[in-house]
């Protein structure tokens, strides 16, 4: 018996330690990437250093190049830790070289390039394009009547203006795009708010179900009448709430009562039940799960809920795990 116990303990502890070690093991750097980055930086800086560059810059660059040679050597010898150190040193030096170059070199050509970058609204346009693309997906989801053709034309115009280096005109076009986007955003949110109402009610209904189980469990365990009364009042308030903000407020109120009387220990199981219900709903609309399997899963879920209401959390947890594992197979 002692040996069995020790063995089980050993397995549990080992599995926990090994489980914790998995992530760092996955996150290992490919050392050749480091060489690639460092050499790329070296090449760029090499092009920028000229005869007029200060001795300090030239010396720093030499030091950086030396570190890259050492990095290559380390990689040849498979000394990965040393290679990492050389990489970081090289990059630290190249950063300083860049800063020094930035201070010392401000040739008219470079200043002109920087000015052009500052004036060029390409990034602003790209940001708006990505935002509008996101809105398009959502608008489609809600079957809105929002027409994006005008704004699409404005994007084309702005792109052309940027290519022709008419940055002021492009900025004006982007400004128009932003105005239209604000209107679109408001319209889409109106559509979304209508559906949010029904989603909120659906959520409240699910929450009420789990609250009923909590109240039943509280009664079974003989909790004080005062606590049960508070939960029942909160239940009434939630069931009469209609708009999303009111529903959220009432649920927060219930959470506060649960925390006050330490009734939150089965919340994680209830969260899992909600997740499983969603998976079942999705699977019920597919042919992946046979009708009889689906019915069995639903029955198991009811059994789990019953166990939760009776305070039999361990049994509920075990059943939840088995059901989740089973459904995961069908999901993939």
- Contacts (CB under 8 A) with other proteins, residues 236-265: 244, 247-248, 251-252
Cβ at position 58, least distance to other proteins in Å: 16
Helix (H, G, I), strand (E, B) or coil at 89: helix
Cβ 108 to other proteins shortest distance, Å: 14
Closest C-alpha among 237, 239, 308 to residue 267: 308
304 counts as binding other proteins under rule CB under 8 A: no
Using the rule CB under 8 A, is 141 a contact of other proteins? yes
**C-beta of 2 vs 225, nearer to other proteins:** 2
Decide if residue 72 touches other proteins (CB under 8 A): yes
Most distant CA atoms of the chain, gap in Å: 88
147 binds other proteins (CB under 8 A): no
Query: Does residue 163 bind other proteins (CB under 8 A)?
Result: no
138 sits near other proteins (criterion: CB under 8 A): yes
Q: Which is nearer to other proteins, 218 or 251 (CB)?
A: 251
What is the distance between the alpha carbons of residues 188 and 132, in angstroms, rounded to a whole number? 12
Q: Quickly count: other Cβ atoms within 10 Å of residue 308's Cβ.
A: 23
Binding status of residue 63 toward other proteins by CB under 8 A: no
Neighbours of 173 (CB within 10 A): 23
Chain residues 174-203 in contact with other proteins, contact rule CB under 8 A? 188-189, 192-193, 195-196, 199-200, 202-203
CA dist 183 and 180 (Å) reads: 5
Residue in 56, 165, 268, 299 binding other proteins, rule: CB under 8 A: 268
- CA distance to 126, 128, 159, 307, per residue, from 173 (Å): 13, 12, 10, 62
- The nearest distance, CB 275 to other proteins, in angstroms, is 5
Binding status of residue 33 toward other proteins by CB under 8 A: yes
CB neighbour list of residue 231: distance below 8 Å, 6 or more residues apart = 211, 214, 215, 218, 254, 257
Under the binding rule (CB under 8 A), the answer on residue 116 touching other proteins is: no
Could you say whether residue 81 binds other proteins (CB under 8 A)? no
- Of 14 and 224, nearer to other proteins (C-beta) is 14
- Tell me which stretch binds other proteins (CB under 8 A): 55-63, 72-80, 228-236, 295-303: 72-80
Q: Nearest to residue 254, comparing CAs of 244, 242, 264?
A: 264
Q: How far apart are CA 129 and CA 204, in angstroms?
A: 37
């Amino acid at each position: 018996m002692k040996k069995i116990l020790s063995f089980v303990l050993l397995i549990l502890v080992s599995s926990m330690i090994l489980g914790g070690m998995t992530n760092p093991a996955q996150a290992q750097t490919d050392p050749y990437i480091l060489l690639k980055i460092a050499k790329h930086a070296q090449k760029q800086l090499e092009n920028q250093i000229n005869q007029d560059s200060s001795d300090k810059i030239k010396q720093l660059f030499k030091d950086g190049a030396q570190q890259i040679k050492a990095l290559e050597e380390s990689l040849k010898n498979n000394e990965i830790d040393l290679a990492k150190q050389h990489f970081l040193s090289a990059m630290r030096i190249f950063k300083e070289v860049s800063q020094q170059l930035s201070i010392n070199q401000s040739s008219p050509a470079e200043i002109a390039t920087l000015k052009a970058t500052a004036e060029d609204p390409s990034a602003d346009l790209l940001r708006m394009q990505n935002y509008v693309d996101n809105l398009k997906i959502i608008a489609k989801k809600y079957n809105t009547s929002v027409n994006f053709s005008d704004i699409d034309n404005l994007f084309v115009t702005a792109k052309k203006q940027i290519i022709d280096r008419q940055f002021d005109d492009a900025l004006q076009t982007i400004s128009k795009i932003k105005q239209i986007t604000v209107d679109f955003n408001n319209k889409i949110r109106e559509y979304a708010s209508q559906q949010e109402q029904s989603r909120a009610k659906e959520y409240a209904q699910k929450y009420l179900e789990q609250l009923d189980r909590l109240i039943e469990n509280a009664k079974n365990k003989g909790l004080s009448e005062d606590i049960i009364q508070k939960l029942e009042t909160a239940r009434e308030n939630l069931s009469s709430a209609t708009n999303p903000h009111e529903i959220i407020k009432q649920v927060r109120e219930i959470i506060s009562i649960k925390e006050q009387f330490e009734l939150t220990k089965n919340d994680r199981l209830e969260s899992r039940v909600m997740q499983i219900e969603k998976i079942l709903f999705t699977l019920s609309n597919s042919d992946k799960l046979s009708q009889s399997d689906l019915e069995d899963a639903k029955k198991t879920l009811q059994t789990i809920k019953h166990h939760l209401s009776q305070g039999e959390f361990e049994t509920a947890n075990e059943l939840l795990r088995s059901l989740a594992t089973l459904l995961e197979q069908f999901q993939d």
